[in-house]
Amino acid sequence: MSENHKYVETPLMKQYYSVKAKHPDAILLFRVGDFYETFGEDAIRTSELLGITLTRRANGSASFVELAGFPYHALDIYLPRLVRAGQRVAICEQLEDPKLAKKIVKRGITELVTPGVLLNENVLDHKENNFLAAVHIEKKIAGAAFLDISTGEFLVSEGTVDYIDQMLNNLQPKEVLYEKNKKDLFIESFGTKFYTFKLDDWIFTPEAANDRLLKQFETSSLKGFGIQNLQSGIIAAGAILHYLDITQHEQLGHITTISRIEEDRYVWLDKFTIKNLELFHSPYEGAKTLIDVMDRTISPMGGRMLKRWISLPLKDIQPINERLDIVEHLVENKTFREEISGLIRQIGDIERLISKVAVSRINPREVVHLKKALKAIEPLKLLCSQSGCAPLVKLAEQMNPCKLLADRIEHDLNNDPPVQINRGNIIAKGVSQELDELRTILYSGKDYLTDLQNRESQRTGITSLKISYNNVFGYYIEVRNTHKDKVPPDWIRKQTLVNAERYITEELKEYESKIFGAEEKILDLETKLFNDLVLSIIEYIPPVQLNSSLIGRLDCLQSFAVLSEENDYVRPVLDDSRKIEITDGRHPVIEKQLPVGESYVPNDLFLDTDDQQIIILTGPNMSGKSALLRQTALIVLMAQTGCYVPAKAAKIGIVDKIFTRVGASDNISLGESTFMVEMNETASILNNLSDRSLILLD
């Protein structure tokens, strides 16, 4: 809006433009009464994206402005659509009661929602993380941080630009932050496929980042997190927290720790390999991917963790064998597995629930769900600790059913409370004496009045007196003229009718003010008691987050067990040798796609560093060459995530990197032929391989 307009703006529009100036790049939802309104350019864009009507409103003399709005209670329907369309949305609320406002109602931005900063269930996918990432590039080294504000997971990593590119492709953040003056470098390193946002350069400095992280974790150093030497990673992590400050997300009590993704713990899968093996996405419509076949998880935490496990297979034999031991126990003890699955089902998404506690967005029904989840952890802990399987017993030891918390919720809340606090009837009986008394007044009003009527009629001997109510002077006692002489002196006459008189008493007046105040007081008290309960849950965030991580892990392993049993998989043997020996291997995805009655033709494969380091495979089109290449990579990958594999037997010497190049396409737009693309990709493999790498070229 330029300053030299001749007309005078209305006070409301003046206020709107001053708020809009704070976040010019976001759509501003401006609360006016019962509506969220958008104006000007925002209105034009919003009406297009949401398909709502565009109108005009007067803006001072001789001017108008475009307008599009929707009722405030429809926010949960419309906000997700705007964010999915890649819009940043600033929500501006009325900060005072319009009834009490002397002039124009005070308004301010209460939240800025962006694709990477989401807490709204209707936009979040419960089976995947919603990561916000930040990247900091220093010459050849880059650091990246990933935060899911809906779960509190905070990860940091550092390495070559290629490695960080691989992390971005693995974790698929919904939004990536980088510094303003490095735009060209960012695009050159990571392309343009991510939704990005540029931040001021001063945010990307060691001092700013270090201070912001120490403030978040309330520690004096970052040594306890094992990230103190990852300078570029720390800078990226600090940038994320700064961004949360800018977007008005101050309640971050659920971000309690930050973990390092250690390059040397996981198998290197570059972006081409992830794409070629179709782990998560397929270029062909309707085609199944590896995650589609492998995901038999029953909890959202398990679903999110499984994705991470597949994109980051392990390189250490011991943790892989621990996973395989649990899978074996679950395969061999079906009843035990079914009991465990039944309990995991009852737990639901406690990871996101506990995050809602930290940001004060949890409703009464969700708190009751948290209690039910905690109550299911107790039998789960017991089952695992008595299983006789060492890694399961170790897992059970770390579970914490938070019994005190579960008991308190059970004591404080009704078992089936409404979602909204203002509906009332949230707090159980016996929690607050004052609340119980107020409820008695409110709900037993009729009995009280009948009792009063009987008492007064006995005291005065007027058998026909009756208590009624009208809007003019509230509750009153009506006496027929024949009994007028029996009226006691403490009654106050209010109205004279033709054949009766109406009186009020002190007791009636007191009762009336009690009733009128009770509803409001009940609501205030219930809200206060509920908020106190939520505050007390905050102390339990770390143990509940640990529970959710353990349950996610258990869920992934039960998913592997179900998969292995249904599809006749076998436990792989992993060792430190440099051999891969697969007997009757099958492709896990293709075998599920075959027509009924047709079975997959299995293949044997032997590779080692002494006798057969290279296999050159030839044959006509459609003879299964690519399927064999891909199935080898998938069997190795599945084995190193701790899952059984589709084969009769499999012995696998641990692999540190998997490179697959299947069907490069011409990059004519960049003037590169297929041959050139393949040469470049092969060069990149040769520059990165080691003596433990598995390379599959088609």
Secondary structure (H, E, C), 558-616: HHHHHHHHHHCCECCEEECCCCEEEEEECCCCHHHHCCCCCCCCCEEEEECCCCCCCCC
* 336 close to 383: Cβ distance less than 8 angstroms: yes
Instruction: Give the mean model confidence (pLDDT) for residues 83-102.
Output: 81
Q: What is the per-residue pLDDT for 683?
A: 72
Q: Which residue has the higher pLDDT, 562 or 87?
A: 562
- In the chain, how many H helices and how many E strands? 23, 23
Tell me: do 104 and 139 sit in the same domain: no
Give the mean model confidence (pLDDT) for residues 410-435.
85
| Residue 15 located in a structural domain | yes
Q: What share of the chain is helix, strand, coil (3-state, %, to 5)?
A: 45, 20, 35
CATH number assigned to the domain comprising residue 103 = 3.40.1170.10
Q: Is residue 165 part of a domain?
A: yes
Q: Which of 235, 265, 295 lies at the terminal end of a domain, its last residue?
A: 265
Find the CATH number of the domain harbouring 456: 1.10.1420.10
* C-alpha dihedral (11, 15, 18, 22), degrees to nearest 10: -170
Count Cβ atoms below 10 Å from residue 396 Cβ, excluding itself: 19
Look at residue 618 in the predicted model and tell me its pLDDT: 67
**CATH number of the domain enclosing 635:** 3.40.50.300
Output 274 or 294, whichever has higher pLDDT: 294
| Domain count across the chain | 4
What does the pLDDT average to over 460-479?
Answer: 87
| C-alpha separations of 58 from 12, 55, 67, 104 in Å | 11, 10, 10, 17
**Per-residue pLDDT band at 574 (split at 50, 70, 90):** very high
In whole angstroms, give the CA distance from residue 682 to residue 412: 64
Residues 152 and 241 in one domain: yes
pLDDT of residue 663: 60
**Looking at the structure, do residues 591 and 691 belong to the same domain, yes or no?**
yes
pLDDT value of position 52: 84
Of the ranges 468-477, 510-519, 639-648, which is most confident?
639-648
In a domain, 157, yes or no: yes
Residues 6+ apart with CB under 8 A from 434: 525
Query: pLDDT band at residue 442, thresholds of 50, 70 and 90?
Result: confident
Residue 264 DSSP label: G
Does residue 193 sit within a domain? yes
pLDDT of residue 615: 67
Q: Are residues 576 and 691 in the same domain?
A: yes
CA dihedral sign of residues 275, 280, 281, 286:
positive
Mean predicted confidence (pLDDT) in 329-333: 93
pLDDT score, position 670: 55
Q: State whether 165 and 64 are in the same domain.
A: no
DSSP letters spanning 418-435: -SSGGG---BPTTS-HHH
Q: What is the predicted pLDDT for the residue at 59? A: 65
> Looking at the domain assignment, is residue 283 inside a domain?
no
492 vs 624: which has the higher pLDDT: 492
The closest alpha carbon to 149, from 245, 237, 255, 304, belongs to 255
Distance, CA of 352 to CA of 147 (rounded, Å): 13
Q: Report if residue 379 sits inside a domain.
A: no
Strand partners, 197: 177
Helix axes 300-311, 541-567, angle to 10 degrees: 70
> Do the domain assignments include residue 4?
no
For 452-497, give the secondary structure using H, E and C. HHHHHHHHHCCCCCEEEEECCCEEEEEEEHHHHHHCCCCCEEEEEC
Cα angle value 675/680/684 (rounded, 5°): 145
CB 647 within 8 A of CB 583: yes
Residue 60 class from Cβ within 10 Å (0-12 exposed, 13-18 middle, 19+ buried)?
middle
Both tokens assigned to 175: 């939004």
pTM of the model: 0.79
| Residue 336 maps to a domain | no
Q: Considering only 59-63, 339-343, 505-509, which range has the smallest mean pLDDT?
A: 59-63
Of 208, 236, 265, which closes a domain?
265
Segment 306-318 shows an average pLDDT of 91
Over residues 192-210, the mean pLDDT reads 86
Average confidence score pLDDT of the chain? 85
Q: Which residues make Cβ contacts (< 8 Å) with residue 157, sequence separation at least 6?
A: 143, 144, 145, 163, 164, 167, 230, 233, 260, 261, 263
Instruction: Report d(CA 418, CA 288) in Å as an integer.
Output: 40
| pLDDT for res 8 | 57
* Residues in a beta bridge with 479: 501
CA dihedral 120, 125, 128, 134 (to 10 degrees): -40
Q: Do 449 and 490 belong to one domain?
A: yes
**574 lies in the same domain as 526:** no
Sequence-separated (6 or more) residues with CB below 8 Å from residue 195: 86, 115, 116, 174, 175, 176
| 138 membership: H or E segment, kind and range | strand 132-138
Q: Do 488 and 593 share a domain, yes or no?
A: no
**Structural domain span for residue 656:** 568-697
Domain at 152, CATH number: 3.30.420.110
Average pLDDT over residues 300-310: 92
* Residue finishing a domain among 500, 530, 560: 530
Parallel, antiparallel or unpaired: strands 153-160 and 141-148: antiparallel
Quote the pLDDT of residue 623. 62
- Report, as an integer, the average pLDDT of 114-131: 78
Q: Is 148 helix (H, G, I), strand (E, B) or coil?
A: strand
Both structure tokens of 672: 């590169």
Cβ-Cβ contacts under 8 Å for 414 (sequence gap 6 or more): 425, 426, 427, 428
Q: What's the pLDDT band for 591 if we cut at 50, 70, 90? A: confident
Instruction: Count Cα atoms within 13 angstroms, Cβ side, for 216.
Output: 28
Round to whole Å and give the CA distance between 326 and 306. 15
Q: Do 480 and 605 share a domain, yes or no?
A: no
pLDDT at residue number 301 = 92
Same domain, 106 and 164: no
Q: What is the pLDDT of residues 676-694, one digit of tens each?
A: 777 777 777 776 677 777 7
Say yes or no: 498 and 573 in one domain: no
Whether residues 91 and 179 fall in one domain: no
Residue 302 has pLDDT above 90, yes or no: yes
Instruction: Give whole-number Cα distances, 156 to 92, 159, 244, 305, in Å.
Output: 33, 11, 16, 17
Alpha-carbon gap, residue 371 to 432, rounded angstroms? 20
Q: Taking 50 as the threshold, does the pLDDT of residue 2 lie above it?
A: no
Using the predicted structure, report yes or no on whether residue 672 has a pLDDT greater than 70: no
Residues of the chain with pLDDT > 70: what percent?
Answer: 93
pLDDT tens string 214-272 = 888 888 887 778 787 888 889 999 899 988 888 777 778 788 788 888 777 888 887 77
List pLDDT tens digits, range 414-425.
888 888 877 778
Q: What sign results for the dihedral spanned by CA atoms 128, 216, 113, 206? A: negative
In the numeric block, the tokens 């108008």 are attached to 64
Distance CA 182, CA 551 (A): 41
